[in-house]
Structure 1
Amino acid sequence: MTSTDGPVLHHPDEVLLAFTRALRAAGVPVTQDRAHGFLSAVAVLGLDDQRATYTAGRATLCGGPDDLARYDQVFEAFFDHRDGLPRSRPAAPTRPTFSDLPETDRDDAEGDDAESPDDVVRARATAAEVLRHRDVATMSPAEKRRLDAMFATLRPRPPSRRTARHQRWHRGELDASRTLRGSLRRMGEPGDLAWRRRGRRPRRVVLLIDVSGSMSGYADALLRLAHTFTHGVPGSPRGAVETFTLGTRLTHLTRAMRLRDPDRALVAAGETVPDWSGGTRLGETLRIFLDRWGQRGMARGAVVVVFSDGWERGGADLLAEQMARLQRIAHRVVWVNPHRGKAGYEPVQQGVVAALPHCDDFVAGHSLATFAELMELVSRA
C-alpha cells in the first residue's frame, strides 16, 4: 500500500538507472555495459559520497571527451548539487555563416573604387569545401547524405613494395643475360644494352575500425572510407585491402566491403557486425587478429591502419603488448584518432598512451579532408 503522508523512497539502483536514462536522452551514448559498470563502481564507493558518485559516472558512462560537458550538465540538473564539483563549461562553438554580397552593396563598392583604395575583400567558400572540413559526427542527416556522394572524389593509390623479380626498364641495372642473348641473335654483332629494375607490386593495406559506442558517430564514414580503399584502384589484386571491425569482438568485413555499391556494402556490414556501439576491448581483439590472421601473413609487411579514439575498457598493458607485436611484423602502423585534429585535444586516454610508442604515425580522421590526407600518407608508406 502506498503512503501519501511522506515522500516516496526509491531504491538507490533505480535512482542511478534513472540518471543513466537522463544521460542517454541528453545525447550521451550510455550502453548497457557502461550502466552496469556505473552501478558496480557506486556500490564499491558508496552512494552517500556525492563526489565519488560524480567521479564514478564520468569514468564509466562517458565514451569520449565530447560527453564530459553534457555529463556535468545532466548531473547538476538531476542531483541539484551545490558543493562546487569540478565541471567544465566550454563555450559553444559558433559555425561561420556565409552570405552573398547584396546587389546594393556591390553597386556601392563599384562606385567607391576611386575613393577607397583599401576595400574589404569579401569571399564566400563553396558549400562542398566547407563540408570537406566539417566533423562528420556533428553533421545532420542531409549533410551526411551529401558527404556520402563526395567520397567518390577520393582517389586512393596503393602503397607498393619491391619484388625479387626484375622487369625490363629503360635505365637502372644492366641486364647482362638479355644483352648477351640479343648479341647472339645478331651473330655476335654489338647492339643496344638492355636494362632492368626490381619489379613492384601493391603492398597490402589492413584497416582495423573501432565500432564501439564512443566511435559510433564516425563508424558509418569510416566504413565508407574502407569501401573507397577497397574499390579505389581498378585492377588491384584480391586481398590488397582487408577490413576488420574492433569492439567487444573482432569481425572480418572484407567480403561485405567487396560489394560494388557502397550502400549495399554498409547494409551487409551492419548485418555482419554483432557489437555496434558496445564496449571496447582493443587489446583482446588485436590479440585475436594477430593470432588468427596477422602473424600468419596478413599483417606481415602490410600497412596497418587502426581507427580508434583509444578509450580502452580492458587492460592497457595487453594493448601495449599487442601493438608491439603488430609493429614488429607490419611495414608501417598508422593510428587514426577522430579527436586528433580538434583544438585542445591531448592524447591522455590509456589506450592511446599504451599504443603511441608502437605507432609510426598518429593522425586525425574526423573529416573528408583528413581522410584525403590519410590516403596520401598510406600511398607513400
Structure 2
Amino acid sequence: MATGRDDDGARSGPDREAVLAMASTEEHLHTTNFAELSEQEAAEVRRLAARILLATPSRLSRRTRKSPHSGARLDIRATVRAARRSGYDSPRMLYARRREQRRKLVLLCDVSASMESYSRVFLALLQGAVTNAGAEAFVFSTRLTRLTRQLAHRDPDLALAQAAATATEWASGTRIAESFRHFLDEYGRRGLARGAVVVVFSDGWAQEDPGQVGAQMARLRRLAHRVVWVNPRKAAPGYRPLAGGIAAALPYCDAFVSGHSYAALAQLAAAIRGAGQPAAGGHETRLGMIGRQAEDKGAAHAD
C-alpha cells in the first residue's frame, strides 16, 4: 500500500501507523504497574531501569582545592609552604575552597514474597546504580545480604544471575527490623550510612513488632542525610499506610514514593536528589512527628 500525506501535510499510511504503534507501546511500558507487565515487557523495563542515573545531592568535602579568589578561605599551610620554598615571606596569600562531592547512595531492597512482582525491576535499578553511581546495594527478606560486588558487573544479566545465586532467601518472609539492625551494626555505624542518602524498597509488611521497626529506623535516621522509602502499594487507589512496618517507618522518612512503574521512578530520582519530592509528612501523624523530633533532638546529622 502506498503512503501519502493527508490534507494537513501529515504522513499517512503504514509508516504513520507504525510510528503511532511504537509510541503507544512505549507509553504503555512507562505507565503500567510492574506487577501487570508480561515477561517480555518486564525484561524491557528492567533494561530501561538499569540505565536510570540516580544522582545524590552534593556536600562539601574536607578536602580543598586552590582558588584564585580572595573570597575563598585563606590557606595558611599552603601560604607557609610557599614562603619556605622561597626562603622569604610569601609574596602573596594563597586561598582554597572546600571541594564538592556527591553523597553516598545506599539501596536496601525487600525481596520477600510480597514484593516479588517488583523486586526484579528494582534489582535492575540497583545494578545500574552500583555501576553508574557507585552505590552500595543490599537485599533483605528474613536476613540481609550485601550485593554490591555481585552487581558491579557491566553485564546486567551476569550481575543479576550472581545476585540471585548469592541472596538465597528470595520470596520468603520479611524481617525489616532485624535486617536494618544487621545493616546498622555491620555497615552503617562504620560509615556506610553516615551522611548518605538511604533508599528502602519495601511494602512494609513485616513479621515483627512495629516498635522494633521504628527503633531501627530512628537509628538509621540519625546517621543518614536523607531516608527515602519506596512502596509500590502506595499507587493503589485509596491506599493508606496502616501496615505495622510502614506506619512505624514513615515518621523517620524524608520522602515516600511509589516507584510502581517506570514513569514513577522519576519521582524516586527526584526524591534522591532532594528536589520536589513527595514528603513523607503527608502520611505522618502528629504523634509520629513529635516522636521523630524527640529522637533527633541533640543528634546532629553528619555530613
Range of TM-score over shorter length: 0.7 to 0.9
Matched, 1:286 2:286: no
Matched-pair identity in %: 41
Map of 2:74 onto structure 1: 175
Deviation of 1:176 (Å): 5.4
Matched ranges for 1:151-166 at <5 A: 151=49, 153-166=51-64
Whichever residue aligns with residue 258 of structure 2, its letter is: A
For 1:331-373, what per-residue CA distance to the aligned partner results, in whole angstroms no more than 9, with x for missing partners? 1111111122333211111111110111111111111222233
The CA distance in 2 between the partners of 1:227 and 1:221, in whole Å, is: 10
Whichever residue aligns with residue 231 of structure 2, its letter is: N
Map of 1:206 onto structure 2: 106
Matched, 1:147 2:41: no
The CA distance in 1 between the partners of 2:90 and 2:47, in whole Å, is: 61
The CA distance in 1 between the partners of 2:184 and 2:89, in whole Å, is: 56
Map of 1:138 onto structure 2: 36
Deviation of 1:145 (Å): 2.2
Alignment equivalent of 1:316, drawn from 210, 219, 222: 210
Map of 2:13 onto structure 1: none
Map of 1:352 onto structure 2: 246
Give the conservation status (yes or no) of the 8 Å contact 2:50–2:127: no
Map of 1:273 onto structure 2: 167
Q: TM-score, normalised by structure 2?
A: 0.75
Deviation of 1:209 (Å): 0.5
**Bigger Rg, structure 1 or 2:** 1
Whichever residue aligns with residue 264 of structure 1, its letter is: L
For 1:73-110, what per-residue CA distance to the aligned partner results, in whole angstroms no more than 9, with x for missing partners? xxxxxxxxxxxxxxxxxxxxxxxxxxxxxx99x85x76
Whichever residue aligns with residue 196 of structure 1, its letter is: A
Give the conservation status (yes or no) of the 8 Å contact 2:106–2:197: yes
Q: TM-score, normalised by structure 1?
A: 0.61
The CA distance in 2 between the partners of 1:344 and 1:164, in whole Å, is: 47
Map of 1:222 onto structure 2: 122
Give the conservation status (yes or no) of the 8 Å contact 2:228–2:271: no
Aligned-partner SS, 1:340:
helix
Aligned-partner SS, 2:61:
strand
The CA distance in 1 between the partners of 2:122 and 2:95, in whole Å, is: 44
Whichever residue aligns with residue 351 of structure 1, its letter is: G
Aligned-partner SS, 2:48:
helix
Structure 1, 243-252 or 156-165: larger mean CA deviation? 156-165
Deviation of 1:380 (Å): 4.0
Give the conservation status (yes or no) of the 8 Å contact 2:151–2:163: yes
* Unaligned runs of at least 5 residues, structure 2: 10-19, 276-303
Aligned-partner SS, 1:127:
helix
The CA distance in 1 between the partners of 2:186 and 2:90, in whole Å, is: 58
Matched ranges for 1:1-381 at <5 A: 125-151=23-49, 153-169=51-67, 171=69, 172-175=71-74, 177=76, 181=82, 195-233=95-133, 240-380=134-274
Whichever residue aligns with residue 211 of structure 1, its letter is: V
Whichever residue aligns with residue 199 of structure 2, its letter is: V
Whichever residue aligns with residue 333 of structure 1, its letter is: V
Give the conservation status (yes or no) of the 8 Å contact 1:336–1:364: yes
For 1:96-126, what per-residue CA distance to the aligned partner results, in whole angstroms no more than 9, with x for missing partners? xxxxxxx99x85x769xxxxxxxxxxx8844
* Unaligned runs of at least 5 residues, structure 1: 1-102, 112-122, 234-239
The CA distance in 2 between the partners of 1:258 and 1:110, in whole Å, is: 52
Map of 1:44 onto structure 2: none
Report 1 or 2 for greater relative contact order, CA contacts < 8 Å, sequence distance ≥ 6: 2
The CA distance in 2 between the partners of 1:205 and 1:220, in whole Å, is: 20
* RMSD of equivalent CA atoms: 2.9
Give the conservation status (yes or no) of the 8 Å contact 1:244–1:251: yes
Whichever residue aligns with residue 63 of structure 2, its letter is: R
Whichever residue aligns with residue 323 of structure 1, its letter is: M
The total of aligned residue pairs comes to: 259
Give the conservation status (yes or no) of the 8 Å contact 1:332–1:360: yes
